[in-house]
Structure 1
Amino acid sequence: MKKLALHWKIIIGMVLGIIWALLSSFMGWSSFTINWIDPFGTIFINLLKLIAVPLVLFSIISGVANIGDPKSLGRMGGKTLLIYLLTTVMAISLGLLLVNTVKPGKLIDKQSRIDNRINYEIWASSQGYEIKDGINYLKDPAYMKRAQEITELTKNDLKEVSVADKLDKANKQKETTPLQPLVDIVPDNFFFALSSNGLMLQIIFFAIFFGVCLLFIPNDKSQPVVTLVDSINEVFLKMVDLVMQAAPFFVFALLAGVVSKMAGNDIGKVVEIFKGLSWYSLTVLAGLLLMIFLAYPSILKAFVKKIPYVGFFKAMGPAQTLAFSTSSSAATLPVTMECVEHNLGVDKKISSFVLPIGATVNMDGTSLYQAIAVVFLAQLHMIDLTIGQQLTVVLTTTLASIGSAAVPSAGLVMLIIVLDSVGLNPAWIAIIFPVDRILDMFRTVVNVTGDATVCTIIADGEKMLNYQEAKDPTETFELDS
C-alpha cells in the first residue's frame, strides 16, 4: 500500500465508505455510522478549511509580492479573470444545450406535470407574476376540480425549514443596490472577514492590496515581510501534507456518513430518490463529465502542447478525488496547489495568485448545473422558457456563480436568485434537494479541474511552466514520509 499513489488510496477509501454505508443501512447500523464514523469526515473538512483561509491569504500576498513588477500583475490578473469568465459562459451554454436537447423535465408522466403546472399558476397568481406562456390551466373547466384540490393542498403545505432558510438568504441578497457586490468585496474589518464564512473575496482583496503595497516600498523594507510570509506559507503547506496522510481514512468516514444520512436504515430510499430524478441527474452528470474530460483538455491542448491528456489527469488525480469527496473547492485548494506546482510544474508565483482567485470566482460546475436545473424545473412545470429568458439565465448564472461560496451546496442559495430572475418559484429547489449532494461532488471536480487548467495556461503564457511527465504513476504527489 505504501507504493500506491495517494489518489488511488483516496478512491479506495471512497469506495469502502459507500460499501460500509449500504451495509450498515441493510444491517440497521446507520445510527452507529452517523454518530461514530461521520464526525471524522466533518473533522477532515474542518481541518482543510482551517488551513485553506490562511493559505489563501499568505499565498496571494507571497505570489503578488514575488512577481516584482506591478505591470506583470495587472496583465496576469486581467488574463486570469478573462479566461475564468469565458470558461463559465462555455459551461452555461453547454448546460443549456444539453437540457434543451434531452428535455429531462418532459420525461416525467404527464399528470404529474399538469399538477405541477397548476401549482405554478397558483403560486404565480399569489405573487403577482404573469404566467410565462399565457396558458392558464386554472381557467380551463377540464382542470377546475383538480385545480381546487391542488389549491387546498397548497394552502396546507408547509415549507421545509431548509428551503425557507435559503429563501431568506436569497431575499436579503436581492434587496441590495447594483454595486453592492463591489461594496461587499472591500472589508471594513479584515479580522471579521477572516473569522466569517463566505467572505473569501474580502480576504483575497486584502491579500492583493497588501501584496501590491509591498511592491511599491523599498526592497530593504519589504523583503523581511516577504520572507516572513513565505515562511508562514511553508508551514501551512506542511499542515496540508500531514492532513493528507490520513485522507483515505477521513474520506471513508465522509462518504459513509453522506450515504447513511440519505439511506437511513432503508436502502430502497436511495433507489427511489434517484429514480425520480434520474434523467435530470444524468443530464447534469453528462455536462459535468464533458467539461472534465473533453472541454478542459481541449482548451489546455490549444494553449499548452507539452502536457499530454493522460499526464494532466495523473497530475490532478489527488485534487480531483479530494474535491469529489469534500464537495468544497476551498477545502481542496491546498491539495490543488500541491498538484499544480509539483506535478504540472507551475511556478509558485502563478499558482499562489491564480488558484485562490479561481477557488472563489470560477464555479463552472455550479454554473452548468444551475442552467440545467432552471430549465429542468421549468419543463417539469410545463413552462417553455423563451430564448430571451434563457439568455437571462446565462447572465444571472454567470454573476451568481462568482458570488457562490466555495463550500458544499452553496450553489443552491444562488439558484434561488436565478429562478427568481425568470419569474419561477424559488421554493422549487426542494425538488432537486435529494440528489444535490451527489451532483455537488461532481460539480466540485469540474471547478477544481477548471482552476488547474486556467492556472497552467497562465503559467505557460508567462513562461513559468516546467512540466516533466512522471515515469511512474506512483511518483505523482507522494507525500513526505
Structure 2
Amino acid sequence: MKLKKVNMTVQIMIAMVLGVVVGTISKEKIEGIKLLGDIFLRLIQMSIILLVMGQIIEAIGGLNPKELGRQGVKVIIIFLLTSFFAAAFGIITGILLKPGFGIDLSSLSSGGKISTSYLGSASDTVLGFFSINVIKSMADGNIVQVILFAILFGVALSYIRMENESNKLLEVIIEFNKIILKMISIIMKIAPIGIFSLIASTVGKVGVGVILPLSKYLGVYGLATFTYLIVFFIIVSLYCKVNIVKLIKGMTEMSLMALATTSSAVTLPTEMKDAKEKLGISEKVTKIVLPLGMTLNSNGSAMHMAFTIVTIAQIYGVNYSGAQYLYIAALATLVSLANAVVPGAGLVSLAIIVPQMGLPIDAIAVFAGVEWFVGMLRTILNVDSDTLTALIVAKGEDEIDYGVYK
C-alpha cells in the first residue's frame, strides 16, 4: 500500500517542531546550521521582484477596460479601499494588543543595525512611492516603486491589447509568470529544511521562549480578522438593506469552504453559485466581481502582512511614526495585488514586505509554524470580502434579487 504524500503545510509544521526540539537540546552548538536557512531565504528573495511585476502586469494587463467600464472602475476602487482599511485595522489591532511585546530577538538580526529613518517625512514617504528609474528600483529591491510601475505597465498593456488583438506580449508574460511560479514552487520544496535550520538555530541561541508569541499572535490576528468581518457585514447589511443573519447564513457554505481549503481559487465555484442563489446577486455582477476579486482583492493578505510587520517590529523593539504606519498599510495593500498561488504563499509575501520596513528577514521563520492557521483566516477574509464587495456593487446597479431572502 502506497503511503500518502505528506503535504507542505504538515512538513513545515513537523520541521518547526523538530527545530524546537533539536535547538533546545543542542543549544548554541547548532548555530552553524543557520546557513541552510539563510540560503533558503535568499532563494525566495532572488525572484521576488520578477514575481511581483509579472503577477500584477498579468492581472491588470488581462483586463478589458472597455468591457469593465464604470462598473469595473468602481469595483477596483472598492477593492483597494477595503484592502487598505483591512491593513490599517490590522495595524491598529497590533498596536493596541501588542502581540510581539516583551520578546527580544534583536540578537538574531544578521543585517546589522535596524533602521527605519530611510522613510523620512510624510512628503518623502509619498514621493518614495514613485521611481525615477525602475531598473534602479528593481536593483535596490524597492517593491512599492516596482509595483506602481507594474500597475501602469499593466494598464497600458490592456489598452494596447484592445487596440491590437495580435499583441503577444501578454501571452509571453503569462508564460514567464508560470516559470517564475514553478521556480518558487521548486524552492518551496526545501522549505522544511530551511525552516528547521532557522528555528533550530534561533531556539538554540535564545531559548524556546521565542515560540511563545505565536499563540498570542494567532489569537490577536484571529480577533482582528473576525472583528473586521463583523463590521464589514454590518455596513453591507445596512447599505444593501439585507437582514444580517440571513446574509451570514447565505455566506456560511463559502466561508467554511474557504477555511477548509485555504484557497480562494478552489472556493470560487461555490462562492459564485451561492452569490447568485443565496444572496440574489445578478449573474452579470457575479461574473465580473468575484473572479476579479480573486486576482485583485486580498483583504486578508493585506491585513496579515501589516499585522505581522507590527508584531515583528514589537519583537525587535522598533517604533514607527504615524506616516510610516500609513506607508505600511499602503505597501501591504499594493503587495497583496501580487499574491503568489504557491505552497507557503504567506511566507513568500512576508519575504517581500519585511525587508522593506528595515526588519530582519530571519524573523519570518518564527511564524512558519502557524502559517496554515493564518492561511485559513486570510482566505475567509479574502473570500467574504469579495462577496460583500459584489453585494455593494449589485446594490448600486440595482442587481440584487431580494426575493431570495424571503
TM-score by length of 1: 0.55
Give the drift of 1:433. Answer: 0.8
2:284 corresponds to: 349
2:220 corresponds to: 283
Give the drift of 1:360. Answer: 1.0
2:171 corresponds to: 190
Is it true that 1:97 corresponds to 2:34 in the alignment?
A: no
Q: Which of the numbers 104, 108, 118 marks the counterpart of 1:119?
A: 108
Is it true that 1:336 corresponds to 2:271 in the alignment?
A: yes
Q: How many residues align?
A: 299
AA aligned opposite 1:362: N
Q: Which of the numbers 211, 218, 236 marks the counterpart of 1:300?
A: 236
Q: In structure 2, how many angstroms separate the alpha carbons of the residues matched to 1:289 and 1:348?
A: 28
Q: In structure 1, how many angstroms separate the alpha carbons of the residues matched to 2:116 and 2:329?
A: 21
- 8 Å CA contact 1:320–1:449 kept in 2: the answer is yes
2:206 corresponds to: none
Q: In the superposition, relative to structure 1, how do residues 395 and 467 fare at CA in structure 2: closer, same or farther (>3 Å)?
A: same
Q: In the superposition, relative to structure 1, how do residues 192 and 423 fare at CA in structure 2: closer, same or farther (>3 Å)?
A: closer
Q: What whole-Å deviation, never above 9, does each CA across 1:386-427 have from its counterpart, x for those lacking one?
A: 223222211111111122135664243222232222211123
AA aligned opposite 1:193: I
- 8 Å CA contact 1:351–1:455 kept in 2: the answer is yes
Q: In structure 2, how many angstroms separate the alpha carbons of the residues matched to 1:174 and 1:93?
A: 17
Q: Which runs of 5+ in 2 are unaligned?
A: 11-58, 119-137, 158-167, 182-194, 196-208
Q: What whole-Å deviation, never above 9, does each CA across 1:337-363 have from its counterpart, x for those lacking one?
A: 111011111111111001111111111
Q: In the superposition, relative to structure 1, how do residues 276 and 95 fare at CA in structure 2: closer, same or farther (>3 Å)?
A: closer
* Aligned-residue identity in percent: 26
Q: In structure 1, how many angstroms separate the alpha carbons of the residues matched to 2:210 and 2:270?
A: 33
Q: In structure 2, how many angstroms separate the alpha carbons of the residues matched to 1:454 and 1:177?
A: 24
- 8 Å CA contact 1:363–1:402 kept in 2: the answer is yes
Q: Which of the numbers 117, 136, 150 marks the counterpart of 1:180?
A: 150
Q: Which runs of 5+ in 1 are unaligned?
A: 1-30, 42-56, 134-167, 201-261, 263-271, 472-481
Q: In structure 1, how many angstroms separate the alpha carbons of the residues matched to 2:364 and 2:89?
A: 21
Q: In structure 1, how many angstroms separate the alpha carbons of the residues matched to 2:279 and 2:106?
A: 51
C-alpha RMSD over aligned residues: 3.8
Q: In structure 1, how many angstroms separate the alpha carbons of the residues matched to 2:144 and 2:220?
A: 29
Q: What whole-Å deviation, never above 9, does each CA across 1:91-120 have from its counterpart, x for those lacking one?
A: 111111111111111144xxxx1xx12333
What secondary structure is seen at the aligned counterpart in 1 of 2:111?
helix
1:87 corresponds to: 82
2:348 corresponds to: 413
2:261 corresponds to: 326
1:317 corresponds to: 252
Q: In the superposition, relative to structure 1, how do residues 100 and 369 fare at CA in structure 2: closer, same or farther (>3 Å)?
A: same
AA aligned opposite 1:338: K
AA aligned opposite 1:303: Y
Is it true that 1:78 corresponds to 2:73 in the alignment?
A: yes
1:154 corresponds to: none
AA aligned opposite 2:302: S
- 8 Å CA contact 2:88–2:326 kept in 1: the answer is no
Q: In structure 2, how many angstroms separate the alpha carbons of the residues matched to 1:132 and 1:444?
A: 34
Alignment of 1:387-426 (within 5 A): 387-405=322-340, 409-426=344-361
Q: Which of the numbers 386, 391, 396 marks the counterpart of 2:321?
A: 386
- 8 Å CA contact 1:328–1:444 kept in 2: the answer is yes
Q: In the superposition, relative to structure 1, how do residues 106 and 275 fare at CA in structure 2: closer, same or farther (>3 Å)?
A: closer
Q: In structure 1, how many angstroms separate the alpha carbons of the residues matched to 2:98 and 2:145?
A: 33
Q: What whole-Å deviation, never above 9, does each CA across 1:312-335 have from its counterpart, x for those lacking one?
A: 122112211111111111221111
Q: In structure 2, how many angstroms separate the alpha carbons of the residues matched to 1:295 and 1:83?
A: 16
Q: In structure 2, how many angstroms separate the alpha carbons of the residues matched to 1:447 and 1:357?
A: 12
Q: In the superposition, relative to structure 1, how do residues 406 and 92 fare at CA in structure 2: closer, same or farther (>3 Å)?
A: same
Q: In the superposition, relative to structure 1, how do residues 394 and 198 fare at CA in structure 2: closer, same or farther (>3 Å)?
A: farther
Q: Which of the numbers 424, 446, 454 marks the counterpart of 2:389?
A: 454
Q: In the superposition, relative to structure 1, how do residues 273 and 34 fare at CA in structure 2: closer, same or farther (>3 Å)?
A: farther
1:467 corresponds to: 402
Q: In structure 2, how many angstroms separate the alpha carbons of the residues matched to 1:177 and 1:446?
A: 23
What secondary structure is seen at the aligned counterpart in 2 of 1:340?
helix
Give the drift of 1:183. Answer: 3.1
Bigger radius of gyration: 1
Q: In the superposition, relative to structure 1, how do residues 194 and 83 fare at CA in structure 2: closer, same or farther (>3 Å)?
A: same
- 8 Å CA contact 1:103–1:379 kept in 2: the answer is yes
- 8 Å CA contact 1:347–1:459 kept in 2: the answer is yes
Is it true that 1:375 corresponds to 2:364 in the alignment?
A: no
Give the drift of 1:189. Answer: 4.5
- 8 Å CA contact 2:93–2:224 kept in 1: the answer is yes
AA aligned opposite 2:274: C
TM-score by length of 2: 0.64
What secondary structure is seen at the aligned counterpart in 2 of 1:106?
coil
Q: In structure 2, how many angstroms separate the alpha carbons of the residues matched to 1:304 and 1:470?
A: 12
Q: In structure 2, how many angstroms separate the alpha carbons of the residues matched to 1:175 and 1:85?
A: 17
Q: In the superposition, relative to structure 1, how do residues 443 and 273 fare at CA in structure 2: closer, same or farther (>3 Å)?
A: farther
AA aligned opposite 2:101: K
Q: In the superposition, relative to structure 1, how do residues 177 and 360 fare at CA in structure 2: closer, same or farther (>3 Å)?
A: closer
Q: In structure 1, how many angstroms separate the alpha carbons of the residues matched to 2:367 and 2:321?
A: 23
